Amino acid sequence: MTKGGQGRTARRLAATAVLSIAVLIAGCARFDDSASSPFTPEPTFGSGGEVSPRQPPPPTSPIPETSVPNDPCFDNDPNVIATCLDATGGMVMLPGGESALVTERRTGRIMRVAPREEPTEVARIPVDSSAGGGLLDIALSPTFEEDNLIYAYITTPSDNRVVRIAPGDRPKNLLTGIPRGAGGNTGALTFSKPGELMVLSGDAGNPSAAADPASLAGKLLRVTALSPTPTPPRPLVALSGVGLAGDVCRDPSGAVWVTDRTAVEDRLQRVAADGTVGAPAWTWPDKPGVAGCSAVLGAVAVALTDGEAMAVLATEPDTGAVTTAPALLAQNLYGRLGGTAISADGQIWAATVNKSGGTPVPTDDRVVKLPLPSGGGGID
């Protein structure tokens, strides 16, 4: 997903490539940190507790050029970036656009993945992964290269919440009291601009909560208190009526895109930079399970979990209108897709979620780059 920390060059390349793909194929809550339950145990960090994209730690064992038939995690597909991950959650590209962080929903691990490198654990957060919860998504600080701060949407035994983590420190609560239910514990994060974190919460299996102004469930929230304080301000509601939250992503115009699944349909919705919310830009009555999204000016890529494909929608740059049916990439090729990001060279990366309700192959869950229908891995 196009989140904080990506450089201008990476965004420009990604915008050109993904837009080309689209054109080619388509023709009462708690906010007080002191009042919330502590984390036990504290999180652990690998490589000395550093998450540095400028000088990443060397891979523990490089993936060889030749086949390794005795390695159960070896995948012969050249488009596979990482293998043998636990059930994945969210994914975000690191600055530079050549590697990414992907979460393992059940273990609470944050893994660094890159082509031809073994996945490396950079952090681990205690979470409650029952009822579909866990480590659901992450976003990088807009100044990640300087502060290495990561924001995470997680499930605990009592609620869903947003925490901030720094190397060598325990998670600090930013937003607590998002309702936790027997199901529907979904959520996502992205920065709409420096100083404003967008938090997408699912309805926790209670659709009425999504319409209740007093509830934090089923909402897109604007969080501006990004440092733990005793009395943080209540976040503003940018959008209500969210069902099973899919993802939230920002495009270069400042508009924010939301995917979610309602009882009637799956949908893609746009919140303009000025806060205007229009009708859904696209709906899927067949409910293919919209999930991760990545947005550039003129195109949005949306992972379809049950549809086992990546949908690419061409959008009007000014209004965000979608006038042609989505193009589908990698349909039925890698199984169920979840987290999504765009690399510096314009490749769409996706994390499989076959260990969450799918039929995993021996190398699942994986991070893959999605080839074009012609068989290429990207656009020059």
pLDDT at 117: 96
**What pTM did the predictor assign?**
0.85
Place of tokens 């983590």: 165
Among left, alpha and beta (phi > 0; psi -120 to 50; other), residue 17 is alpha
Q: How confident is the model at residue 317 (pLDDT cuts 50, 70, 90)?
A: confident
Token pair recorded at residue 363: 């190398």
> Higher model confidence: residue 227 or residue 91?
91
Residue 82 has pLDDT above 80, yes or no: yes
> Higher model confidence: residue 299 or residue 30?
299
Closest CA to 135 of 121, 147, 146: 121
Distances (CA, A) of 380 to 17, 80, 95, 105, 306: 8, 20, 21, 34, 31
Place of tokens 């273990």: 107
Give the pLDDT mean for 293-297. Answer: 94
Any idea what DSSP says for residue 239? E
For the chain, percent of residues with pLDDT exceeding 90: 74
Give the pLDDT mean for 232-257. Answer: 95
Give the pLDDT mean for 274-303. Answer: 96
DSSP secondary structure letters along 152-205: EEEE-SS-EEEEEE-TTS--EEEEEEE---SS---EEEEEEETTEEEEEE--TT
The letter for the amino acid at 226 is L
Strand partners, 113: 100
pLDDT at 253: 94
pLDDT at 161: 97
Residue 205 has pLDDT above 50, yes or no: yes
- To the nearest whole number, what is the mean pLDDT of the chain? 85
pLDDT at 63: 46
pLDDT at 129: 97
Least trusted range by pLDDT, from 5-14, 294-303, 313-322: 5-14
Coil vs helix vs strand at 207: helix
Residue 4 has pLDDT above 70, yes or no: no
Residue 56 has pLDDT above 50, yes or no: no
Least trusted range by pLDDT, from 18-32, 33-47, 109-123, 161-175: 33-47
Residue 20 has pLDDT above 60, yes or no: no
Give the pLDDT mean for 332-358. Answer: 96
Q: Domain coordinates of the chain in residue numbers?
A: 8-27+32-51+87-369
pLDDT at 373: 55
Distances (CA, A) of 269 to 201, 228, 265, 272, 350: 14, 30, 12, 10, 21
> Which tens digits make up the pLDDT trace of 120-162?
999 999 999 999 999 999 999 999 999 999 999 999 999 999 9
Place of tokens 């904080």: 4
pLDDT at 35: 32
Q: How confident is the model at residue 232 (pLDDT cuts 50, 70, 90)?
A: confident
The alpha carbon dihedral of 174, 177, 181, 187 has a sign of: negative
Fold (CATH) for 8-27+32-51+87-369: Neuraminidase (2.120.10)
Give the pLDDT mean for 92-115. Answer: 98
- Residue 360, classified by CB atoms within 10 Å of its CB into exposed (0-12), middle (13-18) or buried (19+), is middle
Closest CA to 156 of 167, 141, 171: 171
Residue 369 has pLDDT above 70, yes or no: yes
